[in-house]
Amino acid sequence: MAKKSALVQGNQACAHGAIYAGCKFFGGYPITPSTEVAEELSAMLPKVGGKFIQMEDEIGAMASVIGASLTGAKALTATSGPGVSLKQELIGYACIAEVPCVIINVMRGGPSTGMPTGPGQSDVMQAKWGTHGDHAAIALVPESIQEIFEETVRAFNLAEKYRMPVQVLYDEIVGHMRERIVFPEPGELEIIDREAPTVSPEEYKPFDSSKGQVPPLAAFGSEYKYHVTGLNKAADGFPTTKAELVDAEERRQVDKVECEEARADIEKNEEYMIEDAEIVLWAYGSSARSARYAVNELRKEGIKAGLFRPLTLWPFPEKRTAELAEQAKAIIVPEMNLGQMIIEVDRVAQGRCTIDGVHRVDGDPLNPGQIMAKVKEVI
């Protein structure tokens, strides 16, 4: 029997992916170009026993998501750049309190109100460094409608597995375009739920890492009672200023994502015509669609170009980027910003090859011709 398929918008695919992953709560506030995610889930969640709430602002929306997650629900919010800015204090809270949740950021231009109806990729550094303090970050960047569905599912899996907020970043182009999507059957994609405690309520400590870097998480309202705070804390959840406990907590929360084993699990990328590439286009999101077309055209002209497309921006794919810097004569980074991920590429390349960028912030997408022109300029 043929699988179900449909022509859907990117934001609609995100809502479908959230339901597939087991999302039971959405807390949000309307903001272009992400509002369709909320619109879809307002109709879909009640049908699966979930809850939808439109809060008074983005801050309240993020707070509601944290609260819902602590009760055991898989929780989601969707917004754009200025909304993420407002959410940052509570994203930081979710980081230190290790609260699983998913944040969809349909990117546009900026700063401030910027160009609400135009595309941008100017929030990719915000996804890592937006909130203060040292903390881990996971950010995924799909390029197609099918990938928005699948990466939304993966975002929930990673949030639950690593007990932390996970961001999905795609821009207005992919959010509002329509493509055919094939819906996976139930059970076809892996679904991960947070680890529940196996000890008695009297023995349970919500931040006890003695058995692993990601402690089990009990649900508020169950027989387990525990303390949650935005302060550094001991294993029982109560605040502490003991230097050795504070240091251990900070390092554990970063290491649970940055260690080699976790990176191998989290990092995901696509490589296209990379084997013999002398010019590597390092591109993500909708810019990678133009980069792939440019690779095909450059190959017709005898230029050995290839595409490296990370689906995970954070943690940054350091190892593979360093290897490509050894292989290539040049790495070109097309972005709809004035240069953000190129900073990380250049940092990792360490002068092994030429690093250059193609940047556009006028509200129109990068096109293959712009990328090809930069390649020819570099070579």
pLDDT in the model for residue 233: 95
SS (H, E, C) 316-348: CCHHHHHHHHHHCCEEEEEECCCCCHHHHHHHH
CATH 3.40.50.970 intervals, the chain: 5-182
Q: Per-residue pLDDT tens for 118-146?
A: 999 999 999 999 999 999 999 999 999 99
pLDDT in the model for residue 75: 98
83 is written with which tokens? 């909304």
Q: Which fold has domain 269-378?
A: Rossmann fold (3.40.50)
169 is written with which tokens? 């970043």
Q: Per-residue pLDDT tens for 74-86?
A: 999 999 999 999 9
Calculate mean pLDDT across residues 20-39: 97
Q: Per-residue pLDDT tens for 240-295?
A: 999 999 999 999 999 999 999 999 999 999 999 999 999 999 999 999 999 999 99
320 dihedral zone (left: phi>0; alpha: psi -120 to 50; beta): alpha
pLDDT in the model for residue 212: 87
Residue 210 has pLDDT above 90, yes or no: no
Q: Which residue shows structure tokens 């139930």? A: 186
Calculate mean pLDDT across residues 3-10: 94
Band of the pLDDT at 181, cuts 50, 70, 90?
very high
Q: For strands 178-182 and 5-9, give the pairing.
A: antiparallel
pLDDT in the model for residue 3: 82
Band of the pLDDT at 1, cuts 50, 70, 90?
low
Residue 112 has pLDDT above 80, yes or no: yes
Residue 211 has pLDDT above 80, yes or no: no
Q: Which helix (H) or strand (E) holds 20?
A: helix 10-21
CATH 3.40.50.920 intervals, the chain: 269-378
Calculate mean pLDDT across residues 298-320: 98
Calculate mean pLDDT across residues 227-240: 95
Q: Is 167 helix (H, G, I), strand (E, B) or coil?
A: strand
pLDDT in the model for residue 199: 95
Q: What angle do CA 373, 272, 316 make, to 5 degrees?
A: 90
Average pLDDT score, the chain: 96
CATH ID of 5-182, from 3.40.50.970, 3.30.70.100, 3.40.50.300, 3.40.50.1820: 3.40.50.970
